[in-house]
Amino acid sequence: RKEVEQDPGPFNVPEGATVAFNCTYSNSASQSFFWYRQDCRKEPKLLMSVYSSGNEDGRFTAQLNRASQYISLLIRDSKLSDSATYLCVVNPGWDMGRRALTFGSGTRLQVQP
């Protein structure tokens, strides 16, 4: 089982739609969680951190469910510029024997006019 699993998509949605991505992680002791965005052939960049209480940044809402070990990202009122690959990222902490971020394979979003 992969440490971080995501639906690869692609998710093809019209402008203005609401779209949600989920991600599951295998290590219950993981310390922190993030969503990164990666545009085609570019480096990943932090979109937002994910907290147990849920957090919102404009049209983006992230949630963490530690009991079920999943993370979600909700994008409201999709824009063409939201088209990208969204990477679910977990900091496993020392429990996995290494101190480095673990990345999911990414979910590709294509917003269409």
Partner 1 sequence: NAGVTQTPKFQVLKTGQSMTLQCAQDMNHNSMYWYRQDPGMGLRLIYYSASEGTTDKGEVPNGYNVSRLNKREFSLRLESAAPSQTSVYFCASSELDRGNTEAFFGQGTRLTVV
Residue numbers at the binding site for partner 1 (CB under 8 A): 4, 6, 8, 32, 34, 41-46, 49, 51, 87, 89, 91, 98-106
Of 66 and 98, nearer to partner 1 (C-beta) is: 98
Separation between Cα atoms, residue 76 and residue 11, nearest integer Å: 14
Measured from the CB of residue 94, what is the shortest distance to partner 1 in angstroms? Answer: 10
Shortest Å, Cβ 103 to partner 1? 4
Q: Which of 33, 50, 40 is nearest to 108 (CA)?
A: 40
Q: Which residue stretches of 1-113 are H helix? A: none
